[in-house]
């Protein structure tokens, strides 16, 4: 919990409790809601423009405005420095957790560079999860993409040795490959299913729909479900941005989870549902009881809350550095933007009278009324800004 | 095991994919029988559920089936246990066993995963048990056991403890829970709640499931509150109780209460410590069924696609998955995955599978299917206990026989297919028991537990434990023979050591232990032989069966050796049963162990002595006699198992062949008194002895002597007792470490100067101190019974006390700042004690004798003082209390 005295009251930042009632602000609404909605739209536009400046030819707005998955796309990242990527990586590998091929024999956990080199020499590809801090330039792209698509984005680093085994995979999320050094031949194979999920959909098969190379500074968008095969020799490193967008199944799971709050759904299941005497008041007293009670839920509202909860939970790709925390001149870091809090669960501390609840970046802001109208523009007193900076909700790198 | 030759061998399918793991994503439907075999199976399952419901109703006095079949009936129901069934169930004994032998108090696991947590003062919080209640593990692979005497003391001071999942370790409790699960069609467990007089435990709260509460010992006052709202469900409802009391009663041993889900309750201890066991009844709710359906939402195309930014998903599409049959399918999917509770012993599995694989039924066993969730359908196959069964109609009839429990001879008589039995057994779905169950023996005299005594005892002048591990500097020293008080203890230590040597010698036909330990001569390997009684005492196969069936052997407790690789290999995940709850122990898949043993692999269970009191006593004698720390590692193999290959150990080792046979080759060391860093595989080819060891044969191998172990066919089990001695090089290292006390040694050494001589030349003194330091760190070996504290305080007949510090008493160099001047300082088993000098005779008699009657111990000094001292020592784990076992409900 963080407190900051401010003019007209204290801005408090806490973790966003589960089960809060949330709503995405409407830009066309009057007052605070409209201000926050328009601020969100403007923030998304700035992120799209920054992306476009570095990745010309791939329209992030269109990507986000259309249902996925889309089509593969290729571009060149500008500006890009192999030396910087390699240097930052080489300087910070020791002691980082690794993901290895489960069959591989080798050190796991805290490799030293010689051990890592031996692994790569042996043909093992190495994946470093949570690599945003190793690759700040790529992470910045990820932050822009997260805001443009309202998506969860994770950065991982893949290292490959001089004679790697060809690597094929497909993912149930969009993936952005960014070549860092070295080169690999890349083949893309069309998806087996329109919106594939593992365990349900088949693996992509057939001839490659596209073949080319992934070289340093090149970027390839691999839509959800597309297979990719990487081949070639010589040491190489590339980043993967794992882009997970909101989908209908997330909304369904959220709604189902919230349904337990309705009295009808709290009923215990009987031993033998077929032996229950007819009872229209019981979810189990009617063969269609579950469907009927589900239909009686306020599904539009719950679905909207599900979307708002997704937006509110999105966190920045790159954590601030210690130096960032001294800089109050930043930009909003929650990729989902501001989300209105309309109610808190019974076990959460209620909002102080007269204050407004706003969720962003996985946090709950208790905003005094006097500060609320200045929140959208971030024209806040220094102490309130400092509170946001300390929670990583403002990123100075975006100035 | 004798077998019944089948009169007409059944055709029997080859054991193929008839019983396989149920795919987590497999669609499950309720089972409606069509064929005669299916009808027989459905009938048998219904009868099995009837029988389970009948046993629960008979034993606990509550009609559980009526309660779960009418889930809308919300009321408190009480009952009364059947006393005979109660005695057989012996839940107090189960709790005692779990606390003393099992891995319940791992502090690193956190409250969610730890199986022993506590609270006090009605605070709804769970804290992981810590010392002295959690016994400090002597090694990485040792179980984190509980000191029940210390726990009992904590209860009397207001704490409440819960021991989770006692059913995972104790068969009779597991059988009760299997019956409950069969009635519920849902997973359950048994949690033991221990509270002191007047304790308020976890305060008023409600649970997300109904509970069956069984009062086991002592009394507790229960108040049940009306729910805060209809059918409250956390986290959807406020987590508080209404305070409106609708039921109030003081529960006595044997009372049973059913509390519906969401009904608040508050439990307050009466004037005694008490124990109740809670059985959660986790019936599915509508909300959970909906969530289960939502997890299948990817089956709706509309829901699978990524959504445009700002679009609101259409949860209404989920409604397409809801409709008639949804509830039935949801329940079926859940019940199909309820795991089996069958945990046959490895040796039984071996014997029975040998017959079944040979196409015949063993003659003298009862086989019973364990599938608490009943039978469901998965496509063309059946789904039971997380398995998929592809069976034809005759096989279904056999399965139906097994549901209710079938004698192997009867199955043979109807020409049932033995390979089906083999498949089910390998899949962990069959209980295997002797066909003739022994009549229940007389119940031992009851031990009422625990009735408090007023804690009126002098705090001053007894035993004050000052420190435990890490060992406080400046450390232990030998007792001073010129000090009359210490000289008495020194003589007692020596008498105790001679007694231990005699007791060990009595267990061997020809072992001259003093000669072995005489290191004035170069040690050589020695062969010896246990007496039949000594071998019987070890009872190795039964112990290993027990360990593999119900002990938590995760972490470092289980290792593998194979392919001549000198390293201990970790046990692969496939060897363990998937834990069902966050606090489930890491249990072994016995069938997987059997397969592994047949794949030329040796299974090594490390430090098993700490889990088995009888073995712990064996090791304690050895430690006492030798002054060296030891333990027992069990090596189990079957057929050819090259294990580590030829190697040597950096400590002496006593090897006892317990079952089967092994071929040993013993070779001269590569150099006298070998030490690391020589490679452990650096052995000579100068063989000094080769031969086959059989049950009862013993080998004593000094450090550095090479050895290679091979199979002589069949199942083999040997125990090794590593004996770690302090050698001269280690004494020098110790002395070098101690040199930090010398200003000269602490000084910087000039670049060209001459370094000061820091290793003391006093020789004898440094050696004696180093050895004392080494021996005083041998950990205590106390297995404390719940009720031990009460027995001590009450002077209960039959109570015994035993010094658990295997190497006796030591003096202490220097006094801590807080030392009371009129107390004596002692060190024992890595603990520092300040003791009243008047305790000398008591400490002496403890060091001299094995377990001695309490009345003998308390006769050595004023009785009140002796009682207080023994309590302090027992709570510190330095004295083990023995009490008559078993308790029954006072009638």
DSSP assignment of B63-110, as one string?
-HHHHHHSTT----EEEE--HHHHHHH-HHHHHHHHHHHS----GGG-
Q: Quick one: pLDDT at residue A44? A: 95
Q: Distance between CA atoms of B735 and B759, rounded to whole angstroms? A: 6
Tokens 């696609």 found at: B305
Give chain B's largest Cα–Cα span. 97
Q: Is the peptide bond before A64 cis (omega within 30 degrees of 0)?
A: no
> What is the DSSP code string of A362-387?
TEEEEE-HHHHHHHTTT---HHHHHH
**Cβ-based neighbours of A360, under 8 Å, separated by 6 or more:** A312, A332, A334, A336, A337, A338, A339, A393
Q: How close A88 comes to chain B (CA, Å)?
A: 34
Which residues of chain A lie closer than 8 angstroms to B329, CB-CB?
Answer: none
Say how far apart CA B312 and CA B335 lie, in whole Å.
Answer: 35
d(C-alpha A257, C-alpha B236), whole Å: 10
Q: Could you tell me the CA-to-CA distances from B535 to B613, B638, B659, B714, B721 in Å, in that order?
A: 16, 20, 10, 19, 15
* Mean pLDDT on B158-175: 92
**Is residue B30 within 8 Å of B328, Cβ to Cβ?**
yes
Q: Grade residue B8 by pLDDT with cuts at 50, 70 and 90.
A: very low
Task: Kindly report the nearest CA distance between residue A313 and chain B, in angstroms.
Answer: 15
Residue B238: the pLDDT is 84
* pTM of the model as a whole: 0.87
Give the ranges where B9-62 is alpha helix by DSSP (H). Answer: 36-60
Cβ-Cβ contacts under 8 Å, A260 against chain B: 233, 236, 285, 287-288, 290-291
A267 to B285: CB separation less than 8 angstroms, yes or no = yes
B300 lies within 8 A of chain A by CB: yes
Q: What is the pLDDT of residues B603-655, one digit of tens each?
A: 999 999 999 999 999 999 999 998 889 999 999 999 888 888 899 998 999 99
Instruction: Name the B residues in 304-343 with CB < 8 Å from any A CB.
Output: 304-319, 322-328, 330-331
Looking at B443-510, list the stretches that DSSP marks H as alpha helix, in order from N- to C-terminal side: 484-507
Chain A residue numbers with beta carbons less than 8 Å from the beta carbon of B315 are 248, 251-252, 254-255, 299, 302-303, 306
- pLDDT tens for chain A, 399 residues long, are 444 444 457 899 999 999 999 999 999 999 999 999 999 999 999 999 999 999 999 999 999 999 888 899 999 998 887 777 776 666 566 555 555 544 444 444 555 677 777 878 888 888 888 888 888 889 999 999 999 999 999 999 898 888 888 888 999 999 999 999 999 999 999 998 888 888 778 888 889 998 999 999 999 999 999 999 999 888 899 999 999 999 999 999 999 999 988 999 999 998 888 888 888 888 998 888 999 999 999 999 999 999 999 999 999 998 877 777 777 777 888 999 999 999 999 889 999 998 999 999 999 999 999 899 899 998 888 889 888 888 888 876 543
Say how far apart CA B79 and CA B62 lie, in whole Å: 5
Q: How confident is the model at residue B15 (pLDDT cuts 50, 70, 90)?
A: very low
Residue A97: per-residue pLDDT:
54
pLDDT digits 0-9 by tens, B328-353: 999 999 999 999 999 989 999 999 99
Provide mean pLDDT across the span B443-468: 46
**Interfacial A residues in 284-323 facing B (CB < 8 Å):** 284, 287-291, 293-295, 299-300, 302-304, 306-307
Please name every residue paired with B382 in a beta bridge, in sequence order, or none if there are none.
B377, B389
Rounded distance between C-alpha atoms, residue B526 and residue B510, angstroms: 10
- Among chain B residues, CA nearest to A194: B305
Instruction: Output the pLDDT for position B302.
Output: 86
From the list B69, B287, B324, the residue facing A260 with the nearest CB is B287
- Inform me whether the C-beta atom of residue B574 falls under 8 Å from chain A C-beta atoms: no
Q: Which of B464, B452, B443 is nearest to B792 (CA)?
A: B452
Of B230, B235, B312, the CB nearest to A304: B312
Q: In this structure, are residues B254 and A251 in contact, taking their beta carbons and an 8 Å threshold?
A: no
Q: What is residue B338's DSSP assignment?
A: P
Give residue B740's pLDDT: 67
Decide: B42 and B377 in contact? Cβ < 8 Å.
no
Using alpha carbons, list the distances in angstroms from residue B511 to B282, B631, B850: 58, 19, 21
pLDDT of residue B454: 42
Rounded to a whole number of angstroms, the distance from the CA of A76 to the nearest CA of chain B is 25
Q: Quick check: B72 and A200 CB within 8 A?
A: no
CA-to-CA distance for B558 and B633, rounded, in angstroms?
10
> Strand runs (DSSP E) across B171-273, as ranges?
191-195, 210-217, 220-225, 245-251, 255-259, 264-269
pLDDT digits (tens, 9 = 90+) for A310-324: 999 999 998 877 777
Using the structure block, give the residue that is written with the tokens 């998937």. B578
Query: What would the mean pLDDT of B728-739 be, rounded to a whole number?
Result: 72
- Are A64 and B318 an interchain contact pair (Cβ–Cβ within 8 Å)? no
Helices B728-738 and B764-776: angle between axes, nearest 10 degrees: 100
- Nearest-CA residue of chain A relative to B294? A253
Confidence at residue B654, expressed as pLDDT on a 0 to 100 scale? 95
Cis before residue B470, ω within 30 degrees of 0? yes
Confidence class of residue B445 from pLDDT cuts 50, 70 and 90? very low
The tokens describing A195, both together, are 């919106």
Strands B191-195, B159-163: pairing kind = antiparallel
Contact check, Cβ <8 Å, A44/B283 = no
Q: Which residues contact B792 (CB under 8 A, 6 or more apart)?
A: B149, B799, B801, B854, B867, B870, B871, B874, B881
Residue A266 and residue B233 in contact, taking contact as beta carbons nearer than 8 Å? yes
Give the HSE-up count for residue B508: Cα atoms under 13 Å, Cβ half-sphere.
23
B713 DSSP assignment? S
| Distance of alpha carbon B523 from alpha carbon B702, whole angstroms | 6
Question: Are B331 and A265 within 8 A, CB to CB?
Answer: no
Structure tokens at B371: 């599938």
Nearest CA in chain B to A20: B236
Q: How far is A287 from chain B (nearest CA, A)?
A: 5
With bands split at pLDDT 50, 70 and 90, how would you rate the model's confidence at B729?
confident
Q: What is the mean pLDDT of chain B?
A: 86
CB pairs < 8 Å spanning A and B: 212
Residues of B whose CB is below 8 A from A288: 323-324
Q: How far is A262 from chain B (nearest CA, A)?
A: 9
pLDDT value of position B442? 36
% of chain B with per-residue pLDDT over 90: 54
- B618 SS3 class: helix
Are A260 and B68 inside 8 Å of each other by CB?
no
B26 has a chain A CB within 8 A of its CB: no
So what's the pLDDT on residue B311?
85
Cα dihedral across residues B759, B764, B768, B769: positive or negative: negative
Query: Are A310 and A377 within 8 A, CB to CB?
Result: no
State the Cα torsion A195-A198-A203-A204 to the nearest 10°: 30
Quick one: pLDDT at residue B758?
Answer: 55
State the nearest Cα–Cα gap between A347 and chain B, in angstroms: 7
For the residues B411-435, what does the mean pLDDT come to?
Answer: 93
- For the ranges A184-188, B229-233, B735-739, B774-778, the lowest mean pLDDT is seen at B735-739
Share above pLDDT 70 across residues of chain B, in percent, rounded to a whole number: 89
pLDDT higher than 90, residue B166? yes
pLDDT at residue B244, rounded to an integer? 94
The answer to whether residue A149 neighbours chain B at the CB level (below 8 Å) is: yes
Confidence of residue B444 (pLDDT cuts 50, 70, 90): very low
- Torsion over CA: A201, A205, A206, A208 (sign): positive
Report the DSSP pairing between strands A99-100 and A218-222: unpaired
Residue B864, sorted as left (phi over 0), alpha (psi -120 to 50) or beta, turns out to be: alpha
With bands split at pLDDT 50, 70 and 90, how would you rate the model's confidence at B520? low
| pLDDT tens-digit readout, B263-285 | 999 999 988 889 999 999 999 99
- B569 in contact with A, Cβ within 8 Å: no
| Of residues A325 and B718, more confidently modeled | B718
Q: Binning pLDDT at 50, 70 and 90, where does residue B889 land?
A: very low
Q: Any idea how long chain B is?
A: 891
For β-strands A174-181 and A236-244, DSSP reports them as antiparallel
Residue B757 is predicted with a pLDDT of 57
Strand partners, B653: B701, B722
Structure tokens, B818:
């807080």
* Alpha helices per DSSP H over B452-598: 484-507, 513-517, 532-538, 540-550, 590-597
CA-based diameter of chain A, in Å?
74
> In sequence order, what DSSP letters do the residues of A200-220 get, joined into one string?
TSPPP-SS-SEEEEEETTEEE
> Phi then psi for B193, rounded to 5 degrees?
-105, 120
CA dihedral defined by B303, B308, B310, B315, rounded to 10 degrees? Answer: -10
Residues of B in contact with A270 (CB under 8 A): 69-71
User: Token pair for residue B220?
Assistant: 């507790």
DSSP 8-state class, residue A297: S
> How would residue B810 be classed by pLDDT, with cut points 50, 70 and 90?
very high
- CA dist., res. B169 & res. B619, Å (int): 24
Is the pLDDT higher at B316 or at A96?
B316
């Amino acid at each position: 919990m963080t407190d900051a005295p401010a003019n007209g009251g204290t801005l408090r930042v806490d973790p966003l409790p589960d089960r809060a009632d949330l709503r995405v602000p409407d830009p066309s609404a009057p007052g605070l809601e409209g201000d926050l909605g328009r601020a969100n739209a403007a923030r998304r536009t700035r992120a799209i423009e920054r992306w476009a400046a570095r990745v010309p030819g791939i329209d992030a707005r269109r990507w986000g405005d259309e249902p996925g998955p889309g089509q593969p796309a290729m571009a060149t990242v500008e500006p890009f420095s192999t030396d910087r990527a390699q240097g930052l990586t080489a300087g910070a590998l020791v002691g980082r957790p690794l993901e290895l091929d489960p069959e591989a024999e080798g050190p796991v956990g805290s490799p030293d560079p010689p051990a890592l080199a031996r692994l790569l020499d042996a043909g093992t590809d190495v994946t470093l999860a949570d690599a945003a801090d190793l690759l700040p330039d790529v992470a910045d792209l990820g932050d822009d993409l997260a805001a443009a698509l309202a998506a969860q984005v994770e950065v991982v680093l893949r290292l490959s040795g001089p004679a790697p085994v060809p690597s094929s995979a497909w993912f149930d999320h969009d993936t952005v490959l960014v070549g860092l050094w070295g080169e690999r031949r890349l083949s893309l194979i069309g998806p087996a299913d329109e919106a594939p999920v593992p365990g349900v959909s088949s693996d992509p098969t057939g001839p490659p729909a596209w073949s080319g190379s992934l070289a340093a500074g090149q970027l390839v968008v691999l839509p959800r479900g597309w297979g990719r095969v990487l081949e070639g020799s010589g040491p190489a490193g590339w980043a993967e941005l794992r882009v997970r967008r909101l989908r209908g199944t997330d909304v369904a799971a959220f709604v189902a989870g919230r349904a337990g709050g309705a009295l009808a759904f709290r009923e215990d299941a009987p031993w033998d549902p077929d032996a229950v005497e007819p009872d229209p008041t019981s979810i189990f007293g009617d063969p269609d009881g579950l469907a009927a009670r589900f239909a009686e839920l306020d599904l539009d509202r719950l679905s909207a809350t599900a979307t708002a909860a997704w937006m509110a939970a999105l966190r920045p790709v790159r954590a601030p550095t210690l130096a960032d925390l001294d800089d109050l001149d930043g930009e909003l870091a929650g990729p989902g933007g501001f989300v209105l809090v309309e109610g808190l669960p019974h076990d959460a501390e209620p909002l102080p009278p007269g204050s407004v609840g706003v969720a962003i970046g996985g946090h709950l802001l208790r905003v005094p009324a006097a500060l609320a109208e200045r929140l959208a523009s971030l024209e806040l007193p220094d102490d309130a800004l400092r509170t946001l900076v300390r929670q990583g909700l403002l990123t100075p790198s975006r100035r | 095991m004798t077998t019944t030759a089948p009169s007409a061998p059944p055709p029997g399918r080859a054991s193929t994919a008839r019983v396989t793991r149920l795919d987590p994503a497999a669609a499950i439907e309720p089972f409606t029988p069509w064929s005669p075999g299916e009808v027989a199976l459905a009938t048998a399952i219904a009868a099995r559920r009837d029988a389970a419901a009948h046993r629960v109703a008979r034993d606990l006095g509550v009609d559980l089936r009526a309660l779960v079949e009418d889930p809308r009936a919300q009321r408190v129901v009480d009952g009364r246990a059947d006393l005979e069934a109660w005695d057989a169930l012996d839940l107090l004994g189960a709790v005692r066993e779990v606390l003393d032998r099992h891995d319940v108090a791992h502090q690193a696991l956190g409250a969610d995963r730890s199986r022993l947590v506590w609270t006090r003062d009605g605070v709804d919080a769970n804290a992981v048990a810590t010392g002295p209640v959690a016994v400090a593990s002597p090694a990485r692979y040792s179980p984190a056991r509980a000191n029940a005497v210390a726990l009992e003391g904590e209860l009397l001071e207001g704490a409440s403890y819960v021991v989770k999942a006692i059913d995972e370790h104790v068969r009779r409790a597991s059988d009760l829970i299997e019956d409950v699960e069969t009635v519920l069609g849902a997973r359950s467990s048994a949690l033991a709640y221990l509270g002191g007089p007047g304790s308020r435990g976890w305060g008023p709260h409600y649970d997300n499931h109904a509970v069956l509460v069984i009062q086991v010992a002592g009394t507790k006052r229960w108040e049940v509150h009306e729910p805060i709202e209809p059918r409250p469900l956390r986290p959807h409802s406020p987590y508080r109780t209404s305070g409106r009391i609708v039921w109030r009663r003081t529960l006595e041993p044997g009372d049973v209460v059913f509390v519906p889900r969401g009904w608040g309750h508050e439990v307050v201890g009466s004037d005694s410590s008490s124990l109740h066991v809670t059985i959660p009844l986790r019936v599915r709710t509508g909300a959970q069924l909906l969530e289960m359906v939502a997890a299948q939402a990817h089956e709706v195309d509309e829901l699978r696609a990524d959504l445009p930014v700002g679009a609101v998903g259409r949860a209404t599409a989920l409604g397409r998955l809801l409709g008639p049959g949804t509830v039935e399918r949801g329940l079926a999917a859940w019940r199909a995955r309820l795991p089996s509770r069958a945990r046959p012993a490895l040796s039984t599995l071996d014997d029975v599978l040998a017959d079944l694989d040979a196409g015949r039924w063993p003659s003298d066993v009862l086989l019973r299917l364990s599938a608490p969730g009943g039978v469901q359908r998965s496509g063309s196959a059946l789904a039971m206990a997380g398995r998929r069964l592809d069976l034809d109609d005759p096989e279904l009839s056999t399965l139906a026989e097994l549901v209710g429990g079938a004698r192997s001879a009867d199955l043979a008589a109807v020409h049932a297919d033995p390979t089906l039995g083999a498949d089910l057994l390998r899949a962990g779905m069959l209980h295997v028991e002797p066909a003739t169950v022994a009549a229940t023996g007389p119940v031992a005299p009851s031990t009422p537990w625990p009735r408090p005594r007023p804690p009126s005892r002098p705090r001053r002048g007894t035993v004050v434990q000052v420190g435990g591990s890490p060992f406080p500097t400046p450390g232990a020293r030998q007792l001073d023979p010129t000090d009359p008080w210490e000289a008495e203890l020194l003589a007692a230590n020596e008498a105790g050591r001679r007694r231990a040597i005699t007791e060990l010698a009595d267990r061997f036909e020809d072992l001259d232990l003093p000669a072995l330990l005489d290191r004035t001569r170069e040690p050589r390997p020695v062969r010896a032989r246990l007496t039949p009684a000594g071998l019987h005492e070890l009872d190795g196969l039964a112990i290993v069966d027990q360990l593999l069936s119900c002990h938590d052997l995760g972490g470092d407790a289980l290792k593998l050796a194979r392919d001549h690789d000198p390293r201990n290999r970790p046990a692969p995940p496939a060897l363990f049963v998937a834990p069902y709850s966050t606090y489930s122990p890491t249990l072994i898949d016995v069938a997987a162990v059997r397969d592994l043993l047949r794949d030329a692999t040796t299974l090594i269970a490390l430090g098993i002595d700490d889990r088995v009191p009888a073995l712990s006593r064996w090791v304690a004698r050895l430690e006492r006699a030798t002054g060296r720390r030891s333990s027992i590692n069990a090596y189990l193999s079957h057929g050819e198992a090259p294990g580590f290959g030829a190697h040597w150990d950096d400590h002496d080792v006593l090897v006892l062949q317990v079952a089967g046979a092994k071929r040993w080759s013993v070779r001269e060391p590569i150099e006298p008194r070998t030490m690391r860093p020589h490679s452990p595989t650096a052995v000579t080819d100068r063989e000094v002895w080769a031969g086959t060891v059989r049950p009862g044969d013993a080998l004593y191998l000094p450090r550095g002597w090479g050895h290679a172990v091979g199979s002589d066919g069949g199942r083999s089990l040997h125990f090794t007792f590593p004996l770690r001695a302090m050698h001269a090089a280690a004494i020098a290292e110790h002395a070098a470490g101690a040199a930090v006390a010398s200003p000269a040694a602490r000084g910087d050494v000039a670049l060209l100067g001459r370094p000061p001589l820091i290793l003391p030349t006093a020789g004898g003194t440094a050696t004696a101190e180093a050895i004392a330091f080494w021996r005083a760190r041998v950990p205590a070996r106390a297995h404390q019974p719940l009720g031990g504290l009460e027995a001590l305080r009450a002077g209960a007949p039959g109570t015994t006390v035993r010094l658990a510090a295997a190497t006796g008493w030591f003096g202490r160099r220097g006094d801590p700042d807080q030392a009371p001047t009129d107390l004596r300082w002692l060190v024992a088993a890595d603990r520092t004690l300040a003791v009243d000098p008047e305790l000398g005779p008591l400490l002496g008699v403890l060091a001299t004798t094995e377990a001695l009657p309490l009345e003998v111990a308390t006769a050595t000094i004023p009785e009140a003082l002796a009682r207080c001292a023994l309590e302090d020592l027992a709570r510190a784990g330095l004295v083990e209390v023995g009490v008559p076992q078993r308790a029954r409900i006072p009638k």
